[in-house]
Homo-oligomer: A and B are copies of this chain.
Amino acid sequence: MLEFLLAIMYINNVYNTKDGGACVYNRFIELIEEKKYQELKKMLMDMNEADVAEALEKIDDEAIRIKIFRLLPKDLSAEVFSYFHTNTQKNIIETFSEKELTKLIEESYFDDVIDLIEEMPASVTAKIIKSVDKEKRKLINQFLNYPEDSAGSLMTIEYIDLKEDMFIKEAIEYIKELDLNDENINICYVTDAKRILKGVVPLHKLLLLSDRVKIGNIMEEEDISINTNETGENCANIFKKYDIVTAPVVDNENRLVGIITIDDIIDVIEQENTEDIQMLAGITPSDKGYLESSVVNLAKNRIVWLLVLMISATLSGMIIREYESVLQSVVILVAFLPMLMGTGGNSGSQASTLVIRGLALEDIKTVDVIKVIWKELRVGLLVGGVLAAANFARILFFEKVQMKVATVVCLTLFFTVVIAKILGGILPIIAKKLKLDPAIMAAPLISTMSDVMVLMIYLNIAKLLLGI
């Protein structure tokens, strides 16, 4: 135990002395304290916005952090702001005057503003809404009506919309006026008078063709468009399937209302993966970071499944009590229970995890259920055979038990592995078919089911072979 604590202290120590990132924010504080504002400002402007945000978040003294943040030029400060954690954003907004806030919001991308409003407490939201003009307020309200995690809530309104009858020269003038700041915009969308999406023109085409060509003559058909109500997960699947970096979002009347860019899709993908992984471990999914979450929330997200599984495990207890006589006469059988239950649970959850992941990535479809069963049957026979043989050899050589007991243990092991693999393969597919999340059929539930199965097989084989 002592060694363990020493190891932890060591970890802590090494890290602190080695942390190169520490220098940056300490330098910020030094410069502020020495009132060398110009030098600090230059330093901030030379850094990447994401790095500035990261360094500022390491400063514990909030007053100093905000003082430094105020030194940033307007456009840069909006960028840095978008990289902050929710809590830091909240604190900054609370200390900002309405005028400062108006400027910050003006310089921010519209989808970042929507995200911000969705995450802030009501008082802060009210302050933000108050700080914007009437037109923007209307737009914000419209966006807040899209369901959470839908294409509507993911999209941004900063895009280039052209008309078919524009000449390239006009289009370029129009784009200049739009004054979009995003260097990543590379596709122009062509709409008609009713704002129906007619086609797309890659930006580089405007560059390479003559000024006197009409947009309508060079536009291409856009075969991918996403409805505002599409789920974030489906949006991500579309981006992955078609290898695209932007997609137009249309309303039910097929009018272009925004675009989704791939950076937001990456966030969706990582969030989906985090949720899947949490489900796999029997945790109610939450998109809050571990360190940000409160103890009560963490406990709440974990306790539901633990309770369900604890109560399900009663079934195992009931089986044991029914066969109490078997165990009492051959107590040695109990010694193999942890190994059998462990191996059964692990075998089943290996299969279920692979199938759950396959379903999530759409490598496996529900129609493949027969293929999965056939595959798991063969894998199970192979793995079960090897494990049973290895275990038989181990018991004979290293443990002093009767050959008969060894046979009971290894037969149980074999059947357990085969059945657990098949169940692990099928159950996620059945869950999906029943419109449940396949991930509920993950390790914890499969292990609990497998425990029951192990006991049934084990105690019955024991009764039969040992003649109890």
Chain B residues with CB below 8 A from A378, complex form = 295
Copies in the complex: 2
Bound Cα distance A372, B451 (Å): 31
A184: B residues at CB distance < 8 A: 186, 245
Q: Would you call A299 an interface residue if the criterion is a C-beta within 8 Å of the partner chain's C-beta atoms? A: yes
In the complex, are the beta carbons of B317 and A335 less than 8 A apart? yes
Instruction: Give residues 248-295 of A contacting B (CB, 8 Å).
Output: 262-263, 265-266, 269-270, 273-274, 276-278, 280-283, 289-291, 295
Shortest Cβ distance from residue A217 to the other chain B in the assembled complex, whole angstroms: 17
CB distance from A129 to the nearest CB of B (A): 26
Is the interface on chain A under 10, 10 to 19, 20 to 34, or 35 or more residues? Answer: 35 or more
Least CB distance from A466 to B in Å reads 16
**Smallest CB-CB separation from A286: which chain B residue?**
B354
Contact partner of A306 among B337, B364, B383, CB < 8 A?
Answer: B383
The residue in A204, A242, A375, A447 that gathers the most chain B C-beta atoms within 10 A of its C-beta is A204
> Does B386 lie within 8 Å of A303, measured CB to CB?
yes
Q: How far is the CB of A331 from chain B (nearest CB, A)?
A: 5
* A282 cross-chain contacts in B, Cβ below 8 A: 346, 349-350
Q: How far is the CA of A307 from the CA of B334 in the complex (A)?
A: 20
What residues of chain B lie closer than 8 Å to A366, measured between beta carbons?
11, 15
Verify B363–A307 contact, CB threshold 8 A: no
Contact A270 B240 (CB under 8 A): yes
Q: Does A34 contact B (CB under 8 A)?
A: no
Q: Contact: B291 with A266, CB < 8 Å?
A: no
How far does the alpha carbon of A303 sit from the alpha carbon of B281 in the complex, in Å?
Answer: 21
| A309-B343, A343-B306 given; A204·B224 CB < 8 A | no
Of chain B, the residue at the smallest CB distance from A186 is: B186
Q: Interface with B: A23-31, A97-105, A425-433, which one?
A: A425-433
CB contact list, A291-319 vs B, under 8 A: 291, 295-296, 298-299, 302-303, 305-307, 309-311, 313-314, 316-318
Chain B residues with Cβ below 8 Å from A354 are 278, 281, 283, 290, 298
User: Footprint of B on A, CB under 8 Å?
Assistant: 7-8, 11-12, 14-16, 19, 47-48, 50, 172, 175-176, 183-187, 202-204, 206-208, 223-224, 239-245, 262-263, 265-266, 269-270, 273-274, 276-278, 280-283, 289-291, 295-296, 298-299, 302-303, 305-307, 309-311, 313-314, 316-318, 320-321, 324, 327-328, 331-332, 334-339, 341-343, 345-347, 349-350, 353-355, 357-358, 361, 363-373, 375, 378-379, 382-383, 386-387, 390-391, 394, 417, 426, 429-430, 433, 443-444, 447-448, 451, 455
Q: Closest 4 interchain pairs by CB?
A: A316-B338, A281-B353, A313-B339, A183-B202
Can you show 6 pairs from A to B with CB atoms below 8 A apart? A8-B370, A290-B357, A299-B386, A306-B347, A314-B339, A324-B334
